[in-house]
Protein backbone atom coordinates (compact mmCIF):
# COMPACT_ATOMS: atom_id res chain seq x y z
CA UNK A 1 0.00 0.00 0.00
CA UNK A 2 1.21 3.52 -0.74
CA UNK A 3 1.67 6.08 2.00
CA UNK A 4 -1.64 7.71 1.06
CA UNK A 5 -3.60 4.46 1.12
CA UNK A 6 -5.86 4.03 4.16
CA UNK A 7 -4.60 1.56 6.73
CA UNK A 8 -6.56 -1.36 8.14
CA UNK A 9 -7.83 -1.41 11.72
CA UNK A 10 -9.19 -4.76 12.87
CA UNK A 11 -12.02 -5.28 15.38
CA UNK A 12 -12.47 -8.58 17.20
CA UNK A 13 -15.85 -10.34 17.17
CA UNK A 14 -18.09 -9.58 20.17
CA UNK A 15 -17.83 -13.22 21.28
CA UNK A 16 -14.64 -15.23 20.86
CA UNK A 17 -13.63 -18.80 21.58
CA UNK A 18 -10.18 -18.71 23.15
CA UNK A 19 -9.61 -22.31 22.04
CA UNK A 20 -9.69 -21.35 18.35
CA UNK A 21 -9.84 -17.59 17.79
CA UNK A 22 -6.21 -16.74 18.67
CA UNK A 23 -4.92 -18.96 15.84
CA UNK A 24 -7.43 -17.44 13.42
CA UNK A 25 -6.50 -13.93 14.49
CA UNK A 26 -2.81 -14.66 14.02
CA UNK A 27 -3.49 -15.87 10.48
CA UNK A 28 -5.40 -12.70 9.65
CA UNK A 29 -2.72 -10.45 11.13
CA UNK A 30 -0.02 -12.28 9.20
CA UNK A 31 -1.93 -12.12 5.92
CA UNK A 32 -2.27 -8.33 5.67
CA UNK A 33 -0.75 -5.25 7.27
CA UNK A 34 -2.94 -4.26 10.22
CA UNK A 35 -2.31 -0.90 11.89
CA UNK A 36 -4.30 -1.47 15.08
CA UNK A 37 -6.41 -4.14 16.78
CA UNK A 38 -9.48 -3.38 18.90
CA UNK A 39 -10.70 -5.83 21.53
CA UNK A 40 -14.44 -5.28 21.47
CA UNK A 41 -16.27 -7.93 23.48
CA UNK A 42 -19.96 -8.00 24.31
CA UNK A 43 -19.21 -9.73 27.63
CA UNK A 44 -19.05 -7.79 30.88
CA UNK A 45 -17.50 -10.74 32.67
CA UNK A 46 -14.19 -9.49 34.08
CA UNK A 47 -12.46 -12.84 33.95
CA UNK A 48 -13.43 -13.41 30.32
CA UNK A 49 -12.18 -9.98 29.34
CA UNK A 50 -8.90 -10.47 31.21
CA UNK A 51 -8.22 -13.84 29.58
CA UNK A 52 -9.12 -12.54 26.13
CA UNK A 53 -7.05 -9.40 26.68
CA UNK A 54 -4.01 -11.42 27.67
CA UNK A 55 -4.30 -13.60 24.57
CA UNK A 56 -4.96 -10.75 22.14
CA UNK A 57 -2.16 -8.62 23.60
CA UNK A 58 0.44 -11.33 23.16
CA UNK A 59 -0.59 -11.94 19.56
CA UNK A 60 -0.76 -8.24 18.65
CA UNK A 61 2.42 -7.14 20.40
CA UNK A 62 4.41 -10.02 18.91
CA UNK A 63 3.65 -8.34 15.57
CA UNK A 64 4.18 -4.75 16.80
CA UNK A 65 0.48 -4.00 16.45
CA UNK A 66 -1.10 -1.78 19.12
CA UNK A 67 -4.12 -3.18 20.96
CA UNK A 68 -6.91 -0.97 22.27
CA UNK A 69 -10.01 -2.03 24.18
CA UNK A 70 -13.55 -0.76 23.84
CA UNK A 71 -14.67 1.33 26.83
CA UNK A 72 -12.97 -0.59 29.67
CA UNK A 73 -10.56 2.15 30.70
CA UNK A 74 -9.31 0.39 33.82
CA UNK A 75 -8.25 -2.61 31.74
CA UNK A 76 -5.70 -0.56 29.78
CA UNK A 77 -3.09 -0.47 32.52
CA UNK A 78 -4.13 -3.76 34.05
CA UNK A 79 -3.64 -5.69 30.81
CA UNK A 80 -0.76 -3.64 29.45
CA UNK A 81 -2.78 -2.42 26.47
CA UNK A 82 -2.02 0.54 24.25
CA UNK A 83 -5.20 2.50 24.74
CA UNK A 84 -8.97 2.67 24.74
CA UNK A 85 -11.68 3.13 22.14
CA UNK A 86 -14.72 4.95 23.51
CA UNK A 87 -18.03 3.93 21.98
CA UNK A 88 -19.45 7.41 22.58
CA UNK A 89 -18.54 10.86 23.87
CA UNK A 90 -19.68 10.08 27.40
CA UNK A 91 -16.29 10.50 29.13
CA UNK A 92 -14.36 13.75 29.61
CA UNK A 93 -11.31 13.15 27.43
CA UNK A 94 -8.94 15.49 29.22
CA UNK A 95 -9.55 13.72 32.53
CA UNK A 96 -9.20 10.36 30.80
CA UNK A 97 -5.88 11.46 29.29
CA UNK A 98 -4.55 12.29 32.74
CA UNK A 99 -5.73 8.90 33.95
CA UNK A 100 -4.13 6.68 31.30
CA UNK A 101 -1.17 8.80 30.27
CA UNK A 102 0.09 10.86 27.38
CA UNK A 103 1.32 7.90 25.34
CA UNK A 104 -1.92 5.91 25.44
CA UNK A 105 -4.17 5.86 22.40
CA UNK A 106 -7.62 7.38 22.85
CA UNK A 107 -10.15 6.94 20.07
CA UNK A 108 -13.78 7.99 20.03
CA UNK A 109 -16.69 6.72 17.98
CA UNK A 110 -18.79 9.69 16.92
CA UNK A 111 -21.52 7.98 14.87
CA UNK A 112 -22.42 10.47 12.14
CA UNK A 113 -21.92 13.62 14.22
CA UNK A 114 -19.53 16.22 12.88
CA UNK A 115 -19.96 18.12 16.14
CA UNK A 116 -18.97 15.14 18.31
CA UNK A 117 -15.99 14.50 16.08
CA UNK A 118 -14.76 18.08 16.41
CA UNK A 119 -15.34 18.02 20.17
CA UNK A 120 -13.35 14.80 20.52
CA UNK A 121 -10.53 16.12 18.38
CA UNK A 122 -10.32 19.38 20.31
CA UNK A 123 -10.26 17.45 23.60
CA UNK A 124 -7.24 15.43 22.50
CA UNK A 125 -8.54 12.24 20.87
CA UNK A 126 -5.90 10.50 18.79
CA UNK A 127 -8.53 9.50 16.25
CA UNK A 128 -12.26 9.62 15.70
CA UNK A 129 -14.38 7.01 13.97
CA UNK A 130 -17.59 7.60 12.05
CA UNK A 131 -20.10 4.95 11.16
CA UNK A 132 -21.88 2.93 10.19
CA UNK A 133 -20.99 3.90 6.66
CA UNK A 134 -23.12 1.13 5.15
CA UNK A 135 -26.73 0.11 5.48
CA UNK A 136 -27.55 -1.71 8.71
CA UNK A 137 -30.58 -2.36 10.86
CA UNK A 138 -28.53 -1.89 14.04
CA UNK A 139 -28.67 1.24 16.16
CA UNK A 140 -30.54 4.22 14.75
CA UNK A 141 -29.70 3.33 11.17
CA UNK A 142 -28.20 6.79 10.58
CA UNK A 143 -25.25 6.48 8.23
CA UNK A 144 -22.03 8.45 8.13
CA UNK A 145 -22.04 9.53 4.52
CA UNK A 146 -19.20 10.35 2.13
CA UNK A 147 -19.83 14.07 2.57
CA UNK A 148 -18.83 13.82 6.25
CA UNK A 149 -15.53 12.19 5.34
CA UNK A 150 -14.98 14.67 2.50
CA UNK A 151 -15.42 17.56 4.90
CA UNK A 152 -13.30 16.00 7.65
CA UNK A 153 -10.38 15.19 5.38
CA UNK A 154 -10.37 18.74 4.03
CA UNK A 155 -10.79 20.58 7.34
CA UNK A 156 -9.51 18.46 10.24
CA UNK A 157 -6.07 16.95 10.88
CA UNK A 158 -7.16 14.36 13.46
CA UNK A 159 -7.07 10.89 11.83
CA UNK A 160 -10.47 9.47 10.92
CA UNK A 161 -11.73 5.89 10.72
CA UNK A 162 -14.61 4.64 8.59
CA UNK A 163 -16.42 1.66 10.06
CA UNK A 164 -19.65 -0.28 10.06
CA UNK A 165 -21.23 -2.37 7.27
CA UNK A 166 -18.33 -1.81 4.89
CA UNK A 167 -18.40 -3.16 1.35
CA UNK A 168 -15.89 -3.18 -1.48
CA UNK A 169 -17.74 -0.33 -3.17
CA UNK A 170 -17.74 1.78 0.01
CA UNK A 171 -14.04 1.13 0.55
CA UNK A 172 -13.31 2.26 -2.99
CA UNK A 173 -15.48 5.35 -2.55
CA UNK A 174 -14.08 6.41 0.82
CA UNK A 175 -10.42 5.51 0.29
CA UNK A 176 -9.44 9.06 -0.80
CA UNK A 177 -11.01 10.66 2.29
CA UNK A 178 -10.34 8.39 5.26
CA UNK A 179 -7.20 7.35 7.11
CA UNK A 180 -8.34 3.91 8.29
CA UNK A 181 -10.99 1.32 7.62
CA UNK A 182 -12.14 -0.57 10.73
CA UNK A 183 -13.14 -4.08 9.74
CA UNK A 184 -14.67 -6.74 11.96
CA UNK A 185 -18.08 -8.29 11.45
CA UNK A 186 -17.59 -8.03 7.68
CA UNK A 187 -15.07 -10.91 7.76
CA UNK A 188 -15.52 -12.96 10.94
CA UNK A 189 -18.67 -14.68 9.75
CA UNK A 190 -17.01 -15.90 6.56
CA UNK A 191 -15.74 -19.45 6.15
CA UNK A 192 -12.27 -17.99 5.50
CA UNK A 193 -11.81 -14.57 7.13
CA UNK A 194 -8.34 -14.22 5.58
CA UNK A 195 -9.79 -14.54 2.10
CA UNK A 196 -12.78 -12.37 2.99
CA UNK A 197 -10.48 -9.57 4.15
CA UNK A 198 -8.43 -9.81 0.98
CA UNK A 199 -11.52 -9.59 -1.21
CA UNK A 200 -13.08 -6.74 0.80
CA UNK A 201 -9.93 -4.62 0.68
CA UNK A 202 -9.08 -5.30 -2.97
CA UNK A 203 -9.79 -1.65 -3.94
CA UNK A 204 -6.85 -0.57 -1.77
CA UNK A 205 -4.34 -2.51 -3.85
Reduced to 3 states (helix: H, G, I; strand: E, B; else coil), residue 201 is: coil
Is the model's pTM score more than 0.85?
A: yes
In a domain, 134, yes or no: yes
Would you call 8 helix, strand, or coil by DSSP? strand
Cβ proximity of 85 and 70 under 8 Å = yes
Residue 2 lies in a domain: no
SS3 184: coil
In a domain, 122, yes or no: yes
Instruction: Let me know if residue 51 belongs to a domain.
Output: yes
Q: Are 199 and 167 in contact (CB under 8 A)?
A: no
pLDDT one-digit tens code per residue, 22-74: 999 999 999 999 999 999 999 999 999 999 999 999 999 999 999 999 999 99
Residue 4, pLDDT score: 81
Query: Residue 120 domain-assigned?
Result: yes
Rounded Cα distance between 94 and 125, Å, is 9
The Cα angle at residue 198 between residues 31 and 39, in degrees rounded to 5: 65
121-137 tens-digit pLDDT: 999 999 999 999 999 87
CB 104, CB 83: distance < 8 Å: yes
pLDDT digits 0-9 by tens, 185-194 = 999 999 999 9
Q: Determine the Cα–Cα distance for residues 67 and 205; give it in Å rounded to an integer.
A: 25
| CA–CA distance, 8 with 80 (Å, rounded to integer) | 22
The answer to whether residue 42 sits within a structural domain is yes
* CA dist., res. 172 & res. 38, Å (int): 23
Structure confidence by residue, pLDDT tens digits, 86-100:
999 888 999 999 999
- Total tally of structural domains belonging to the chain: 1
Query: Half-sphere exposure of 133 toward its Cβ, with a 13 Å CA cutoff?
Result: 28
Task: Indicate whether 1 pLDDT > 50.
Answer: no
CA atoms within 13 A on the CB side of 77: 10
pLDDT tens digits for range 139-187: 787 999 999 999 999 999 999 999 999 999 999 999 999 999 999 999 9
Q: At 158, give phi and psi (nearest 5°).
A: -65, 130
3-state SS track over 54-67: HHHHHHHHCCCCCE
In a domain, 1, yes or no: no
CA distances from 130 to 59, 134, 159, 189 (A): 27, 11, 11, 22
CATH number for the domain harbouring residue 24: 3.20.20.70
Please check whether residue 171 is in contact with residue 182, taking contact to mean a CB–CB distance below 8 angstroms.
no
Range of the domain at 190: 7-204
The predicted pLDDT at position 91 comes to 84
Amino acid sequence: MSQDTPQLYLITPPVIDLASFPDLLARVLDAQDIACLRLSLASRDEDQILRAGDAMRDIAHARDIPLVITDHVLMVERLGLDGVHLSDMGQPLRKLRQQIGAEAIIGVHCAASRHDGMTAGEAGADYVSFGPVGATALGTGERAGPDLFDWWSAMIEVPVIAEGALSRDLIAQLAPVTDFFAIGEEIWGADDPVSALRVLTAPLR
